[in-house]
Amino acid sequence: MRLFSSISRQNLLINRLNPVRILLRRDYSAASVAHLAPHIQEYILEKAALCQPDDIYVCDGSDAEKEKIIQTLLKEKLIKPIPKLENCYLAKTDPKDVARVESKTVISTENERETIPIPAEGVEGKLGKWMAPGDLQAAIQERFPGCMKGRTMYVIPFSMGPIGGSISKYGIELTDSPYVVASMGIMTRVNESVLEEIGSGEFVKCLHSVGCPLPLQRELTNNWPCNPENVLVTHIPKDREIISFGSGYGGNSLLGKKCFALRIGSTIARDEGWLAEHMLILGITNPQGEKKYIAAAFPSACGKTNLAMMAPTIPGWKVECVGDDIAWMKFDNNGKLRAINPENGFFGVAPGTSEHTNPNAMTCMEKNTVYTNVAETSDGNIWWEGIGHDPTGDVTDWKNQPWTKDSGTPAAHPNSRFCAPAGQCPTIDPQWESAEGVPIEAIVFGGRRPEGVPLVYEANSWEHGVFLGAAMRSEATAAAEFKGKAIMNDPFAMRPFFGYNFGHYLQHWLDVNQDGRQMPKIFNVNWFRKNENGFIWPGFGENSRVLEWIIRRCGGEDIAQESIIGKIPKNGSLNMEGCDGVDLDACFELSSDFWKQEAAEVRQYLEEQVGEDCPAEIYAQCDELAKRASQ
């Protein structure tokens, strides 16, 4: 960590007038600032002048620095060690700061239509929120002046993707939260060398403040600084800039993740002709040793991490993990789609993760992990619902209250998380840091659909596949502020993460299908169909049977038959050896009434939400589905 210096108010004022010169006039050793390009200095000092921190530290990403940050967090009682786990810590947040806040997340462009399609009259738009540039400036001025008083501004140079990789991009996050520094150090590649890589080139500007200047103006809960009444997470695509205020949690504050890798990332991807998607990436190897890679999009909390790290139950097959949340995908010069996971860690939902559902995640988070809002036990361990065993010792819940099974509330918050280094996953793919990315054979969409949607089907064409992404729906998630189990449209699992108008996004997906490119096959899966006894399909490791079928289809095997919705497995083609008692007929039952209604509801959604911005091809695909279901 490099100490820049204490900045006096006066200097900050002067800095506003001539930031670069003033910085260089200060008493630094030439070597310590020589590597900072003028435009980086200018960015840092402009924001420092606004936020008025006491100090500025430039992070170098070293182990010594990590240790220092942990010590700071311990001193501030923001985290506590978990005695049973090596170098693991537990943070508990203010209960008002527990998830992404979609209602306070905006994109700012000159024209509203660049950001969101205009919904039909009287309909609330659900595909993102727009803010006029003038209103954004006003909102910033209401929140940021002096917001870091008494605190340190940390400068985090980070890379999304391997440093130097052809698909990678760089960012600099300025934050007053050491918790964010610790978490970004796991989730991204934080390294001084990023500053050199940026050189005089572009970087994504990320400003974050918890909005709690010192001395405190409100009492903290759990020592967790935040400003829930004034949360605002903003994106300015034309400037490649993110400005986030008031929340210390996850996607609101670890700006490399949803804000950069998806919202700003999708606009960069559109401009540069590639795809930035809410997708896991996995490698699957058959008993003959042939390996293929798949990217898969599921809405938040639908088991992406479990699928990415799955232990296959079919003998001889191996699944390895490249990433569990985000894929950046670019066609190479040979027309092959190649993907990287831009992240460096997993920010996984803890509840439901167990030795049964995800043994690899359990191993991955045994050390060097920051847990947030899980419960703790009196014998020095952590616990959550669905961890697969009873708690050992007395439990203190995520709100710091004594907890028993009769408490009537969950011990761990449903959106509690583990933040663990990806390299610790026992099944991390040997190619996971490949600079040029791994070749993608198949793209898979899915969601939580208790009714009507079969276990797996294949799109008839690229255009049909794009329609499947557009038509995605799923039960609501705890990862955002929604309650209950309503079925929500979540196209491409990107509804909270589009960086620009979804109609234009669909056109971009249609446009990447070009002559000379090897377009991946597209599939839809549903592990979550239910009957009166619960889930029909056992899920988890058994999902490898579905992946096997997908991979065999990619190899051109004649194991699919036409249906009203696309290609489904021919009878007997799904490998069910060793998996008894599954009602496969129920998994694949197709009701034309269900699909007629589904097509009608999807059309209504597209008409109301996307209107004339929705490409005609997508409406045509929807009409085709309705026609096939009516025959």
Residues that bind Mn ion (CB under 5 A): 300, 325
Q: Shortest Cβ distance from residue 525 to ligand OXD (Å)? A: 18
Which residues ranging from 314 to 343 are in contact with ligand OXD (CB under 6 A)?
A: 325
Based on CB atoms, which residue is closest to ligand OXD, 99 or 564? 99
Nearer to ligand OXD, 347 or 528 (CB): 347
In the complex with Mn ion, which residue's Cβ is closer, 325 or 598? 325
Looking at beta carbons only, is 300 or 341 nearer to ligand OXD? 300
Among Mn ion, ligand OXD, none, what binds residue 173 when CB lies within 5 to 8 Å by partner kind?
Answer: none
Please, which of residues 467-506 interact with ligand OXD by CB under 6 A? 479
CB of 453 or CB of 480, closer to ligand OXD:
480
CB atoms within 10 A of CB 150: 14
Question: Which of these is catalytic: 257, 417, 473, 495?
Answer: 417
Toward ligand OXD, which CB reaches closer, 107 or 618?
107
Q: Is 332 in the active site?
A: no
Question: Contact at 8 Å (CB) between 315 and 287?
Answer: yes
Q: Quick one: how far is CA 159 from the chain centroid?
A: 16
Active site residue 495: no
Cβ neighbourhood burial of 381 (10 Å; 0-12, 13-18, 19+)? middle
Q: Which of 47, 66, 92, 100 is catalytic?
A: 100
Q: Buried (b) or exposed (e) across 44-80, using 16+ Cβ within 10 A? A: bbebbbbbbbeebbbbbbeeebbebbbebbeeeebbe
Amino acid identity of residue 94, one-letter, is: D
Output the smallest distance, CB 277 to ligand OXD, in A. Answer: 12
Is-catalytic flag, 258? yes
Closest CA to 88 of 324, 424, 390: 424
Alpha helices (H) in 154-203, listed in sequence order: 178-187, 193-198
Output the CA torsion sign for 263, 479, 484, 466.
positive
Which residues contact residue 132 at a Cβ distance below 8 angstroms, ignoring those fewer than 6 apart?
Answer: 108, 112
Q: Which listed residue (19, 171, 211, 251) binds ligand OXD by CB under 6 A?
A: 251
Nearest CA to 241 out of 2, 508, 16, 39 is that of 39
Shortest Å, Cβ 161 to Mn ion: 17
Buried b vs exposed e over 496-514: b needs ≥16 C-beta within 10 Å?
bbbbbbbbbbbbbbeebee
176 tagged catalytic: no
The catalytic position among 89, 249, 293, 371 is: 249
Q: Write each residue from 429 to 468 as x if it is in contact with ligand OXD (CB under 6 A), else as -, in one continuous string.
A: ----------------------------------------
**How many of the chain's residues bind ligand OXD (CB under 6 A)?**
7
104 interacts with, out of Mn ion, ligand OXD, none, CB within 5 to 8 A per kind: none
Q: Where are the alpha helices (DSSP H) in 28-187?
A: 30-34, 38-51, 63-75, 112-115, 133-143, 178-187
Tokens, residue 99: 């998830």
AA identity, residue 546: V
240 a catalytic residue? no
300 lies in the binding site for ligand OXD (CB under 6 A): yes
| Tokens standing for residue 275 | 């795809």
Distance CA 48, CA 422 (A): 32
The smaller minimum CB distance to ligand OXD, of residues 251 and 256, is found at 251
Q: Which does 251 bind (CB under 5 to 8 A by kind): Mn ion, ligand OXD, none?
A: ligand OXD
Least separation in angstroms between residue 605's CB and ligand OXD is 21
Closest CB 300 distance from Mn ion, rounded Å: 5
Q: Which is nearer to ligand OXD, 250 or 541 (CB)?
A: 250
Select from ligand OXD, Mn ion, none the partner in contact with residue 498, using the beta carbon and a kind-dependent cut-off of 5 to 8 Å: none
The active-site residue, picked from 183, 253, 300, 544, is 300
| Residue span 196-235 as binding mask against ligand OXD, x where in contact by CB under 6 A, dash where not | ----------------------------------------
Helix, coil or strand: residue 215: coil
* Contacting ligand OXD within 84-123 (CB under 6 A): 100
Taking the complex as a whole, the smallest distance from the CB of residue 610 to ligand OXD amounts, in Å, to 22
* CB of 224 or CB of 347, closer to Mn ion: 347
Query: Given the DSSP bridges, would you call strands 55-58 and 152-160 parallel, antiparallel or unpaired?
Result: parallel
Residue 19's binding partner out of Mn ion, ligand OXD, none, with CB under 5 to 8 Å set by partner kind: none
Catalytic residue status for 278: yes
Query: CA–CA separation, 481 vs 121, rounded Å?
Result: 26
We find the least distance from the C-beta atom of residue 466 to Mn ion, in angstroms, to be: 21
Catalytic residue among 278, 338, 552, 553: 278
What gap in Å lies between CA 601 and CA 212, rounded to an integer? 45
248 binds ligand OXD (CB under 6 A): no
State in angstroms the smallest separation of the CB of 350 from ligand OXD: 12
Cis peptide before 145 (omega within 30 of 0): no
Beta bridge partners, 381, equal 377
Going by the DSSP 8-state scheme, the letter that residue 203 receives in this structure is -
First vs last C-alpha separation in the chain: 67
Residues that bind ligand OXD (CB under 6 A): 100, 250-251, 300, 325, 347, 479
List active site positions. Answer: 100, 249, 258, 278, 300, 302, 325, 417
